[in-house]
A and B are shown apart, each in its own frame.
Chain A
Amino acid sequence: MKSWKFPSCKGKPRLCLVAGLALLCSVLPQQVFAVLGGSEASVQTDQVHMQASLRTTANAGYTVHELRAPTGVVVREYASGGTVFGVAWQGPWPPDMRQLLGSYYDQYQQALQQQSGRPGRRPVYVQLPGLVVMKSGHPRAFSGRAFVPDMMPQGVKAEDIR
């Protein structure tokens, strides 16, 4: 059997660059940007990113993956039908929101920037048709949750994600 060789870029740098970028692009969205709205398998990506321990419990209609990072941050990911529909967290510091909200992160940031009116420091409350994010606390004690209303299994309420 012929052994597989790592493809060589020798003599065709441009082609290789394009191929490399395409490969990177196809891999990055699933591998680096995980979770909310993503595949349940992306929980493992978060586990690696957070260097966390993982405990999974089954509830009626959904599964909870609880990740405990050595930083004291605890993240719970709520999944149903192979898709993560909600995340909740608590700990002395916030989790990596970009990692946790995945493809919803930009939408969340945009909504925060657009919250007009009187400035003033307060908890985060973002309620869009397709995304709800709450973030409370202070340095040394943060908590929050985010979920996609359309993805919630029947009978699961916002309060259940905690």
Chain B
Amino acid sequence: MKFAGKLWMLFLLTLCAMGAGCGGSSPHQANTTVTTSGQNVATVTVNGGPNSNYANGLFVSVTVCVPSSSNCKTIPDVLVDTGSSGLRILSSALSLALPQQNGSSGPVAECLPFVSGYTWGPVQTADVQISGETAQNVPIQVIDESTFPVPSNCSSNGPAMDSLQSLGANGLLGVGLASADCGSWCAQSGGSNPGLYYQCPSSGCAVASESISQQVTNPVAMFATDNNGVIVELPAVTAPEATLSGSLVFGIGTQSNNSMNAATVYTVNDSGNFTTVYKGQSISSFLDSGSNGYFFSDSSLTQCGIAQGFYCPASTQNLSATNQGANGASGTVNFSVANAETLFNNGNDFVFGDLAGPGQDFDWGLPFFYGRDVYVAIEGTTSPGGTGPFWAY
């Protein structure tokens, strides 16, 4: 009887280790669990991406369909970006004829400026499926510089992110705090319109106002269910690795597998930023899975000679900063900065927990997400954490 009891225990433990019978979760370390099962869970992978050279890129597969049809294409290696909103796919990776969005004077195209470049191309409509979730009639951007010529006001944000080479991914899945990518700015006309949306009759593209509902939109906000945000769940990283698997979980507090547990809610200001206090200075900051390191200014850290845009300290530096939400929530973050050139020496490694470089804001990139469950609550939605936008971890 006693022996049988032990066997039973062993059986249960084995089941748990296999990821079954434990509510779909497998423990990785003390402060995080990666949810692995559920129709609202997509597998995400950090690896070199489609060109086998991307450092700290988080990739997912997205299925795009002609609306209300079974004419679909599954696109792998789409970068998961909590720093932007909306789906953008390279036309070369899409090869699917989607309906074009049209404005009063012609087909609609968009120029979305990022820090490291811009994406340009037509706005088209698709049904978007990720894991078991579907969003219908989502305005997406097809990255394509051949349909309409790039206006000079757009290329001014260069370089172009218009190819597999320059983007390092087949597309961008923006699952950030915003629902529509531009918001009320682009819905206005006249001088206050920032000029992201264009209408392109045969005479040429001209800036046009674009209503919020027509703008390229975070597909999560348009899911039928689990549409109030996402959780990025990644295991901890202690040394450079070739690959790392985790989950992108849809919905916050909408299912048994996406509850908030003990996560602290940090609300943001109108710009979608909170504050990081580092070495006594308060700096505007944000969580961005689409940035590939920690980026902040520290003149005591040596900059790399070859790997431009990264830090190369002689020995790994253990640092600390405090994040402060607009709601007054506060928490310390410990992190390390290693020598980027040493990290990059092994060409087979793509997962770096200690990669950092200079930046004007405090940009908590993908290394911040390692070993954490990071909640991104979309503006205007409600969840157990309150009304979005907010981050929680």
Spell out A's residues near B (CB within 8 Å). 51, 69-73, 92-94, 96-99, 105, 109, 112-113, 115, 117-125, 127, 134-145
Contact B191 A141 (CB under 8 A): no
Chain B positions 215-235 with a Cβ under 8 Å from a chain A Cβ: none
Contact A92 B153 (CB under 8 A): no
Contact A134 B359 (CB under 8 A): yes
Chain B residues contacting A134 (CB-CB under 8 Å) are 358-360
Q: Mark B288-308, 1 if CB is under 8 A from A, else 0.
A: 101111010000000100111
Contact A120 B54 (CB under 8 A): yes
Task: Name the contact of B157 in the complex, choosing from A71, A97, A145 (C-beta under 8 A).
Answer: A97
Contact B185 A72 (CB under 8 A): yes
Contact A71 B168 (CB under 8 A): no
Chain B residues contacting A135 (CB-CB under 8 Å) are 115, 360
Q: Does B313 contact A (CB under 8 A)?
A: no
Q: How far is the CB of B348 from chain A (nearest CB, A)?
A: 12
Spell out B's residues near A (CB within 8 Å). 51, 53-57, 79, 81, 83-85, 112-116, 152-153, 155-159, 166, 168, 174, 176, 178, 181-183, 185, 190-196, 271-273, 284, 286, 288, 290-293, 295, 303, 306-309, 344, 357-361, 363, 365
Chain A residues contacting B85 (CB-CB under 8 Å) are 139
Contact A119 B191 (CB under 8 A): no
Given contacts A141-B271, A141-B272, A142-B113, contact A118 B196 (CB under 8 A): no
Per DSSP, chain B at the interface is loop
Task: Name the contact of B116 in the complex, choosing from A96, A97, A98, A121 (C-beta under 8 A).
Answer: A121
Given contacts A112-B158, A134-B358, A140-B178, contact A121 B292 (CB under 8 A): yes
Contact A139 B358 (CB under 8 A): no
Contact A138 B176 (CB under 8 A): yes
Bound complex: CA A96 to CA B183 (Å) = 20
- Offer 16 A-B interface pairs, CB within 8 angstroms, sorted by A: A69-B191, A70-B190, A71-B195, A92-B271, A119-B55, A119-B166, A122-B295, A123-B361, A125-B358, A136-B115, A139-B85, A139-B181, A140-B183, A141-B284, A141-B361, A143-B360
Bound complex: CA A134 to CA B54 (Å) = 22
Contact A136 B295 (CB under 8 A): yes
Bound complex: CA A134 to CA B116 (Å) = 11
Q: Name the 5 nearest CB pairs between A and B, nearest first.
A: A120-B292, A141-B271, A138-B83, A136-B360, A70-B192
Given contacts A93-B196, A109-B159, A136-B115, contact A123 B185 (CB under 8 A): no
- For B350, give the chain A residue with the smallest CB separation: A118
Contact B84 A139 (CB under 8 A): yes
Given contacts A94-B113, A123-B309, contact A136 B53 (CB under 8 A): no
Task: Name the contact of A124 in the complex, choosing from B116, B190, B344 (C-beta under 8 A).
Answer: B116
Task: Name the contact of A120 in the complex, choosing from B153, B168, B192 (C-beta under 8 A).
Answer: B168
